Amino acid sequence: MESVPTSYYIALSGILFALGMIGVLTRRTAIMVFLSVELMLNAANLSLVAFARAWGDLVGQTAVFIVMTLAAAEVAIGLAIIVAIFRKRETTNVDDLASLKG
């Protein structure tokens, strides 16, 4: 079976990453920002797996597993924070949450 070239994976990863970044920068809802961050994480995962396959090395795969477990934990905490903020402020609009202004 002809394998897909690594560069394709990297390109896809780049596109996903860019989409995620645009989402982070443009969306105002905390949930959407959060989803975009997840997208960026997975873009990075994709490139790690792709390189791992290209080099025939398991280190990249291992890293992905660690990132995935961490991401799961992060999702749990992040969502909890968002819920807590919503309860307190009745909004998830990140532009309204600027009380840490220096």
Partner 1 sequence: MALYWLPLLPLIGFLLLIVGGRWFSGTSGGWLGSGFIGAAFVVALVRFFGLSDVPAHETLWTWLPNMALGTGGVSANLNVGFYLDQLSSVMTLVITGVGFLIHVYSISYMREDARFTRFFALLNFFVAMMLILVLADSYPLMFVGWEGVGMASYLLIGFWFAGHKDHNAADGVNNSNAARKAFIMNRIGDLGFMLGMFLIYKVFGTLVIPELAGQEGTLAVTSRPLIELICLFLLVGAVGKSGQLPLTTWLPDAMAGPTPVSALIHAATMVTAGVYLIARSNFFYDLAPGASMWVAWAGGLTALYGALSALNQTDIKKILAYSTVSQLGYMFLAVGLHSYTAAIFHLVTHAFFKALLFLAAGAVIHALHEEQDVRKMGGLAKSMPFTHIVSLIGVLAISGIPIFAGFFSKDGILASAFAQNIPLYLIGLFVAFLTAFYMGRWYFLVWRGEYRGDTKLHPHDGDAVLSAPLGILAALATVGGFLNVPSFLGGGHVLDNFLGRAIPVHEHEILASTEWLATLIAVAVALAGLGWAFYEHRRRALQVGPLGQFSFQALYLDRLYTAVVGNGSKVISRGLDTVDNGVDGAMNGIVSNVGAPGWLVTIWQSGFVRAYALSMLLGTALIVGYWALKAIGGGL
Contacts with partner 1 by CB under 8 A lie at 21, 24-26, 33, 94-95, 97-102
Closest distance to partner 1 from the beta carbon of 56 (Å): 25
Of the candidates 44, 56, 49, the residue with the CA atom closest to the CA atom of residue 16: 44
Hey, what are 18's tokens?
């860019």
Closest distance to partner 1 from the beta carbon of 19 (Å): 14
Instruction: Assign 29 to helix, strand or coil.
Output: strand
Rg (CA), the chain: 17
Instruction: Closer to partner 1 by CB, 72 or 98: give it.
Output: 98
Instruction: Closer to partner 1 by CB, 3 or 99: give it.
Output: 99
Q: What is the rounded end-to-end Cα distance, in angstroms, of the chain? A: 58
Closest distance to partner 1 from the beta carbon of 31 (Å): 13
